[in-house]
Amino acid sequence: MRLITCIIVALSLCVPGCSSDQTNEQSGDLYTLTVQNLNSSGKTIGVCTGTSPVSVMEENFPKAHLAYFPNGPAGYQALLAHRIDAFAYDRHVMNYITLTAPELAIMPGFTSELHLGVGAAKDQSELINRVNEYIRQYKEDGTFEDMFQRWTTSSDPQMPDVPEAIHAVDTITVGTEAVNPPMNFRGENGEIVGFDIEFARRLALFLNVKCEIIPMSWDALLLATQKGKIDLMIAQLDNIPVHRERMLISDDYLSSSIALLVRKENLPGIHTSLSDDEFKSFLQQGSVGIQSGSAQESLIQKKFPGMPSHYFDDVPDLIQALRNSMVDIAFMTHYAFLSHLRKNPDEFRLLIYPGSERGIAIACNKEKNDLRTQINFLLSQYEREGVLEDMRQRWLYSTVYREPELPERGQECPPLHIATSLDLEPANFILKGQPAGFDIELAKRLAYDLEMRPVISNMSFKEVLPAVAGGTADIALAHISKTEERAEKVNFSRPYVFDEFALLVRKTWLNQVSSDLSYIGPAPGTSDSNGSFLSGCENVYHALERTLVDENRWLLFARGLGVTLLITLTSAIFGTLLGFILGILQRSHIVPFAWLLRTLIYLIRSVPLVLFLLFLYYAVFEDLGLSAILASIIAFSIKLGANLASILDDGLNTVSESEIKAAISLGLSRFQRFRLVTFPQAIVTGMARYKSELISLFKATTIVGIIPVEDLTKVSTIIRTRTYEAFVPLLLVILVYLFLAWFFVFLLNAIGGQTHVESQSGSPKRRSRHARS
């Protein structure tokens, strides 16, 4: 079957008249128009004259022809008229365009940083300093977030009433283009509105001046600003060297990115023009899977209340459920699905939710504002120097990951505790047995420049923000988007990357329910497996190879096994000692003390182990700086000790009064009676329960992954994030636990038998017989 398919594809390439788009479609590429084939002599990319997309396109698409336009709308019209293949411009503007022009879409796989500032003449340094003061204020007091959501996520944003300065001391003239919605454009009755205009009016109120908006063409704006004909230029002015040579430019009042706008017909698997009603209708056609604690969960509850959804703790489980048809739609972010799409281009399709772009930021503890300030400064520096753009190209848009060698500080430097969730490739995942990804590299760079050493803790996504809020971690990098609810518990840095919500669906399901969504693509291929025993063995062999051999993942299993055994054996030793001590102390003749201790033991035994572990780690040990492994050992030791204290007490109560009186008549002291009479019999009575408790302790170690401990079970989850296969990793863990449980039972039976013989040899009856002889 595979050979026949290859022959058909090869013959189709030889047929004259086939377009390049058709060729790509039949070859099963993820997108008909890709970043790779856009860089060719037959493609034309539109740009605006005198803007940063010109140099970015020349650098990234040297083979393509550039077409120059005076403004954005001229470029959109050329794209719709098929005169160009793509148009490079501000991504925020493009989000709005896709909401109003259903024929257009943003091309996945390419982006470049865009820094927008306010321009002024060279002699206006004092005015620019005041502008910078306002920019810092409007980002801190929430004004920026409100403006950003209003202007970039709606197809019909409304201009708010911004009051004018009551006692204005002067008037400033602000130049803008008035042709680029939603930033600056003509609204109802010809009034100039938009993000830039609202910003200008709020800035004027801050400066206690009146604001006069003057529309001009782009070239005229640059010249008027340079010569001081206008006070300020607020028109998506990109902070690039050629502009800085001619004028002063403020700090970024809006961080954006350069993206490529294309005709949607060239992106068969992407639908970026669904309205809220269409989006809701689409979601209602199938079962929806969402990651617990994610921003998507909040969006569903806010915009589509009552919609039934299935919740998953991590992305691999969500995708596995999608592959197994447990859900029809996976709702996450674009980048969360990138690596899976690259690995399975013929299995799934991606649908972008329009206007959902969110800034991905670093979560910081609220008590460490200085740390957040330093991080924001470093992020701005990384953007200016091109570090973040280089990281995006290597991690987000490349099919081969290139991880640089980064220096690290020594043990003499203070630690920077970083919370993450290593289950979201390519942001944060395990590569060659070590944490890797965009977020991990960024964390290491920040730690080094802060003169700190990174201490990375892996935990589930829903535990990341509580770890930062509770002080267990200083910062969190786990592809976190800022929401109002999250901002109440932690502080967020400036965004270091932008992502948007997306749906991942099976192609077969999409064909069945959404034939009207302009789905264009090859029919899903059929499996070439004949279901034979040999083919099944081959599949298992490859799965084992991916699970253990690739990237030396067997080292992960070995490390996880070591952690599991460490927790089990250490807890068994300390739990046994604690159980012996508690078992003796609870029989104290001091009645209040004995009653209090018995009550405490009862309460510990009554609390489920999972809750007990969570309570100790997050509520008790978070301020002590204890590692998660040590916290697990303490929790398991206390739990085992309480259970063993009860077992010892029951065993001691089985010794009859007659035997104790006989021991007293022999003149044995209280300690001798305990050592020679009651304790040996208690061991014999409670040995079976003791062995059962130890085996239960070992099995219970599977839960320690709920806190940042990479035990054997957690490692299997980590590997599933890379292979997207659950059967083999989980089967290996089951086999390891079965073998170790059998080995521990054998060992305990051997020890228990020897203990039984020794206890019998030390009983009073045997001692009395020896005495008579």
DSSP-derived 3-state class of residue 608: coil
Tens of pLDDT along 727-773?
788 888 899 999 988 988 888 787 765 544 444 444 444 444 333 33
Element (H, E) at 43: none
Dump the DSSP string for 671-712. Answer: HHHIIIIIHHHHHHHHHHHHHHHHHHHHHHGGGGGGSS---H
What span, in angstroms and rounded, lies between the C-alpha atoms of 583 and 580? 5
**How would you classify the pairing of strands 112-120 and 248-249?**
antiparallel
Both structure tokens of 168: 């204005």
Residue 362 clears pLDDT 70, i.e. is over it:
yes
Rounded-to-integer distance, Cα 335 and Cα 424, Å: 9
Q: Any idea which of 251-255, 324-328, 342-346, 564-568 has the lowest mean pLDDT?
A: 342-346
CA dihedral 149, 152, 155, 158 (to 10 degrees): 60
User: Residue written as tokens 């294309």?
Assistant: 262
1, burial (CB in 10 Å: exposed 0-12, middle 13-18, buried 19+): exposed
- Region 17-46: what's the mean pLDDT? 60
Taking a C-beta distance cutoff of 8 angstroms, is the pair 367, 471 a contact?
A: yes
pLDDT tens string 635-654: 999 999 898 888 877 777 77
> Under DSSP, is residue 412 helix (H, G, I), strand (E, B) or coil?
coil
pLDDT at 444 over 90: yes
Distance of CA 623 to the CA centre of its chain: 25
How many angstroms from the chain centroid is the CA of residue 699? 29
How far is the CA of 395 from the CAs of 41, 438, 442, 476, in angstroms?
27, 6, 11, 19
Task: Assess contact for 9 and 26: CB atoms under 8 A.
Answer: yes
pLDDT at 424: 81
Please give the average per-residue pLDDT across 235-250, as a whole number. Answer: 90
CB of 85 closer than 8 Å to CB of 46: no
Range scoring the smallest mean pLDDT among 106-110, 213-217, 287-291, 591-595: 106-110
| Distance in angstroms between the alpha carbons of the first and the last residue of the chain | 89
Percentage of the chain modeled with pLDDT above 70? 81
pLDDT at 30 over 70: no
Q: Where is mean pLDDT largest: 4-8, 331-335, 396-400, 624-628?
A: 331-335
Q: Are strands 185-186 and 192-193 parallel, antiparallel or unpaired?
A: antiparallel
Are 586 and 598 a contacting pair, CB within 8 Å?
yes
d(CA 234, CA 697): 65
Provide the pLDDT confidence category of residue 354 given band limits of 50, 70 and 90. Answer: low
505, 521 Cβ separation under 8 angstroms: no
Residue 527's φ and ψ, nearest 5 degrees, are -70, 145
Let me know the angle formed at the C-alpha of 664 by 658 and 670, rounded to the nearest 5 degrees: 115
pLDDT computed for residue 531 by the predictor: 43
Position with higher pLDDT, 764 vs 678: 678
Calculate Rg over the CA atoms of the chain.
33
Burial classification of residue 116, based on how many CB atoms lie within 10 Å of its CB (0-12 exposed, 13-18 middle, 19 or more buried): buried
CA–CA distance from 85 to each of 22, 104, 111, 204, 578 (Å)?
A: 15, 11, 17, 41, 73
> Mean pLDDT across the stretch 628-641?
90
Matching residue, tokens 């291929």: 525
Most confident of 234-248, 255-269, 319-333, 576-590: 234-248
Mean pLDDT of the chain: 79
Band (pLDDT 50/70/90 cuts) for residue 175 is very high
CB 67 within 8 A of CB 44: yes
Question: pLDDT category, 569, cuts 50, 70, 90?
Answer: very high
Joined together, the tokens standing for residue 334 give 């674009």
Instruction: Residue 206: name the closest of 110, 138, 290 by CA.
Output: 138
717-738: string of b/e by CB count within 10 Å (b at 16+)? bbbbbbbbbbebbeebbeebbe
3-state SS, residue 86? strand
Cβ-contact 201, 134 below 8 angstroms: no
Integer Cα distance of 478 and 438 in angstroms: 10
Report the SS3 class of residue 495: coil
Structure tokens given for 218: 């782009």
Q: Is the pLDDT of residue 514 over 60?
A: no
Spatial separation of the C-alpha atoms in residues 384 and 374, rounded to whole Å: 16
Q: Which H helix or E strand runs over 185?
A: strand 185-186
Distance separating alpha carbons of residues 686 and 741, to the nearest angstrom: 20
CA atoms of 100 and 500, how far apart (whole Å): 18
Looking at residue 622, the DSSP 8-state letter turns out to be T
Rounded CA separation 113/513 (Å): 38
Give the count of alpha carbons within 13 A of 599, CB side only.
6
pTM of the model: 0.56
pLDDT band at 249 (very low <50, low <70, confident <90, very high): very high
pLDDT at 585: 86
- pLDDT tens figures, 386-429: 788 788 878 876 667 778 888 888 888 999 999 998 888 888 88
Nearest Cα neighbor of 84 from 35, 38, 18, 23 is 38
Q: How confident is the model at residue 119 (pLDDT cuts 50, 70, 90)?
A: very high
Closest to 498 (Cα-Cα) out of 148, 141, 238, 34: 148
Sign of CA dihedral 203, 205, 211, 213: positive
The pLDDT value recorded for residue 195 is 94
Distance CA 246, CA 605 (A): 74
How sure is the predictor about 477, in pLDDT bands with cuts at 50, 70 and 90?
very high
Tokens of 107: 């091309």
The helix/strand/coil state of 436 is strand
Q: Which amino acid, residue 762? A: G
**Per-residue confidence (pLDDT) for residue 696, from 0 to 100:** 87
Query: For residue 296, is pLDDT > 70?
Result: yes
Using CA atoms, how far residue 426 sits from 35, 228, 458, 480, 631, in Å, is 18, 47, 15, 14, 30
Q: How far apart are CA 467 and CA 420, in angstroms?
A: 10
Amino acid 231: pLDDT:
95
**Contact by Cβ (8 Å): 359, 495:** yes
Tokens of 538: 């081959």
- Residue 248 is classified by DSSP as E
Amino acid symbol at 143: T
In residues, how long is the chain? Answer: 773
Using DSSP, state whether 519 is helix, strand or coil. coil
What pLDDT is stored for residue 399 in this prediction?
65
Band (3; pLDDT cuts 50, 70, 90): very low
Supply the pLDDT for residue 21: 36
Question: Rounded to 5 degrees, what are φ and ψ at 571?
Answer: -65, -35
Q: How confident is the model at residue 683 (pLDDT cuts 50, 70, 90)?
A: confident
DSSP category for residue 162: P
Nearest to 650 by CA among 601, 610, 683, 613: 683
Res. 133: pLDDT tops 80: yes
Distance separating alpha carbons of residues 224 and 218, to the nearest angstrom? 10
- Quick: pLDDT tens for 583-603: 888 877 788 888 888 888 889
State yes or no: pLDDT of 258 exceeds 80.
Answer: yes
pLDDT-derived band at 204, boundaries 50, 70, 90: very high
CA distance 251 to 439: 25
pLDDT at site 656 = 67
CA distance linking residue 584 with residue 531, whole number of Å: 63
Strands 112-120 and 254-263: antiparallel
DSSP state letter for 213 = E
**CA separation for the pair 407, 428 (Å, rounded):** 19
Helices (H), 500-553: 507-513, 533-544
pLDDT at 753: 56
Range with lowest mean pLDDT among 262-271, 451-460, 524-533, 665-674: 524-533
Q: DSSP letter at 620?
A: I
